[in-house]
Structure 1
């Protein structure tokens, strides 16, 4: 993932970097010499999972709580450090209908709005020395474009459509952040890590996992295309560090490469147009700034 790349002296933030893909991402970055800050909703669990890594620090953060996001960002900015790599990895998938904050749908709020607010609040540290921001999307974006008439699913909640919209939002976030951040030398990328069986699937019943072909009757992985967590982490680490991407940005990546557009699927290889549309990305940015009350680019947007 980072063979031949020296990250000594670099600092990375990996949200949820203590389980599944996040843990493997943290391990890879540390192995290349980076220091990694892991914001975690369960700090004690995170510290236990990361106990064997010296160059890691854990801090409390709940992405579904904007006060928690603000508190983490303020504490980090007070340290005066620069963020070289920002990997927005944490998320939830296909959860039962859940409301957070002022009644927001939890998948959109956690996967997108929390990361939107976090990056905007941390922008002074991210923009200081030209780094990269990686937004972990998935081919789940193919399940739903943005539902502008009802982004919070106030009626007819569907857990997979809500997940799809959140993953579309993750991809669109990278598109517009790159457009805004490139002038400061910051590039942003969205990634599909692949199909991996991790704690992310905790809300998906075993019977549904079997029907989808993810696992067999005993709960063992049953999809020949399924990746290990380490294999799944490869693309987000690649997007954060690959020299090939130094002068690119706003692209959707999979299998350690830039993905092509597709209309096959759903859940096919490639990216749908609705997840890379600059106008959709700008519209989402405006909505997100309105909802969260933060926009680091308000004078330039």
Structure 2
């Protein structure tokens, strides 16, 4: 049964930090994998999990940069991975399988946002490819490493509200729009977690997706400073715009979804502000739109993704 999209009233909120949600939780003996775990929200996530005792594997497109960012973070290791390259995904997964590692937590945090049109692999639109298809292939290839009670968390965004999957043209071969392409990839993240949870239920694997909120990170690299100011992301004196979170607040929902005992017995849910999100409502901000939690669409996307990547671990 799919978890209904209604708040649990966890006692946490948009201001809660990774330290808050991990209070009293000991991750000693656990191993986590955090894509993009050496920059922005991913780095805050890695630090939080490491601080709670977990061993953290950080796949990195730029291993040297990752090593420098994590040199003082205990219990971390970096391995090369380019989510835009399925051969790289295969090599990374094979390395984990050869090691016989057990993975307890997977957080798909890496991604790109509203970037100029770019094609990767066999001509795939880059945001759909990196944010969704690369992670889809990665998780499916490492299924044999997952512990019996593993959780897989897909970092999505409120931008999923921009669009459903463009079923007739998911790679934007016509009329490329950087924001719609980003929004589609974030809808895909939610649908992926929903169907992963359904498929993994018999093995006690759970899937969740999360909206971290608005945070200033390298994700905004494709926006000049003047544009960021016009969008209200930063003030003229360089401070974060109103309503923006710190990295520790932004990472809190993914960390909560990956570790909280409050989610035992739940799964497949879209979460925000360290709680399960309510359905979207025009009367208030936030929530999850219906196309992103439609089980039939989740199956359809899973089948399409397996066809495109040639990978289906189930």
CA distance in 2, matches of 1:41, 1:175: 27
Partner of 1:78: 98
Please, what is the CA RMSD of the aligned residues? 1.1
Q: Deviations over 1:13-50 (max 9, x none)?
A: 00000011101100110111000000000000000000
Is 1:282–2:299 an aligned residue pair? yes
The Cα shift of 1:81 comes to: 1.1
1:1-301 equivalent positions in 2, closer than 5 A: 1-126=21-146, 128-223=147-242, 225-264=243-282, 268-297=285-314
C-alpha contact (below 8 Å) 1:139/1:268 kept by paired residues:
no
For structure 2, which runs of at least 5 residues remain unmatched after alignment? 1-20
CA distance in 1, matches of 2:64, 2:285: 37
Give the 3-state SS of the residue equivalent to 1:133 in structure 2: strand
Partner of 2:18: none
**Greater shift after overlay, 256-265 or 48-57?**
256-265
Q: Deviations over 1:217-240 (max 9, x none)?
A: 3433122x1000011000000000
The Cα shift of 1:157 comes to: 0.4
CA distance in 1, matches of 2:291, 2:230: 28
Q: Deviations over 1:247-269 (max 9, x none)?
A: 1000000000000001428x931
Q: Which has the higher contact order (CA 8 A, sep 6+)?
A: 2
**How many residues are matched?**
294
Give the 3-state SS of the residue equivalent to 1:97 in structure 2: coil
Give the 3-state SS of the residue equivalent to 2:221 in structure 1: helix
Give the 3-state SS of the residue equivalent to 2:296 in structure 1: helix
C-alpha contact (below 8 Å) 1:206/1:219 kept by paired residues:
no
C-alpha contact (below 8 Å) 1:141/1:165 kept by paired residues:
yes
For structure 1, which runs of at least 5 residues remain unmatched after alignment? none
CA distance in 2, matches of 1:135, 1:202: 21
The Cα shift of 1:111 comes to: 0.2
CA distance in 2, matches of 1:92, 1:118: 17
Q: Structure 2 length normalisation: TM-score?
A: 0.92
The Cα shift of 1:208 comes to: 2.4
CA distance in 2, matches of 1:283, 1:250: 16
Q: Structure 1 length normalisation: TM-score?
A: 0.96
